[in-house]
């Protein structure tokens, strides 16, 4: 039997994502996000572009929804943290999509909306 957790896990666990749209955020072309899902918990790392290193922790909140806290160190040496609430979807080619509303908690002010798309299919199909 599928549960909200298993649907999110199938779409996020051990998959990588790139930015599709993020006009007010730091992540952009070259930033790659990698997610792991364990029961209702989500963890992730990201780097590339203006992000030297970053990580995320969060949870599944519904059949297609998640919430995350994130922090990063930029290539300019800034230390930033924030929150996001997202929806997990699927595009016409079958790739997982993520759409977030987010805001800064420390190091910057404001927030915005961002979207991401699965990078090259499931991680197992990507070159190492």
Longest dimension (CA), the chain: 47
Cβ-Cβ contacts under 8 Å for 27 (sequence gap 6 or more): 19, 33, 46, 49, 50, 51, 114
Is the per-residue pLDDT at 112 higher than 60? yes
DSSP class per residue in the chain: ---HHHHHHHHHTTEEEEEEE-TTSS--TT-EEEEEEETTEEEEEEEETTEEEEEEEEEEEETTEEEEEEEEEETTS-EEEEEEEEEEEE-TTS-EEEEEEEEEEESS--EEEEEEEESSSSGGGS--
Pairing status of strand 32-38 against strand 15-21: antiparallel
Is the per-residue pLDDT at 126 higher than 60? no
Res 73: pLDDT: 98
Give the C-alpha separation, 3 to 56, whole Å: 23
Domains with residue ranges and CATH for the chain: 4-122 (2.40.128.30)
- Structure token digits, residue 128: 């190492």
φ/ψ of residue 98, rounded to 5 = -130, 130
What is the average pLDDT score of the chain?
90
Is the per-residue pLDDT at 24 higher than 90? no
- Average pLDDT on 88-107 reads 95
Res 127: pLDDT: 37
């Amino acid at each position: 039997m599928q549960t909200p957790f298993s649907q999110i896990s199938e779409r996020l666990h051990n998959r990588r994502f790139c930015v599709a749209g993020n006009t007010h955020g730091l992540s952009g072309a070259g930033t790659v996000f990698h997610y792991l899902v364990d029961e209702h918990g989500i963890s992730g790392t990201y780097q590339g572009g203006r992000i030297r290193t970053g990580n995320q922790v969060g949870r599944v909140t519904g059949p297609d929804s998640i919430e995350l806290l994130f922090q990063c160190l930029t290539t300019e040496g800034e230390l930033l943290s924030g929150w996001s609430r997202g929806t997990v979807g699927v595009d016409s080619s079958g790739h997982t999509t993520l759409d977030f509303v987010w805001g800064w908690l420390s190091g910057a002010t404001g927030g915005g909306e961002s979207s991401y798309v699965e990078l090259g299919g499931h991680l197992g199909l990507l070159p190492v």
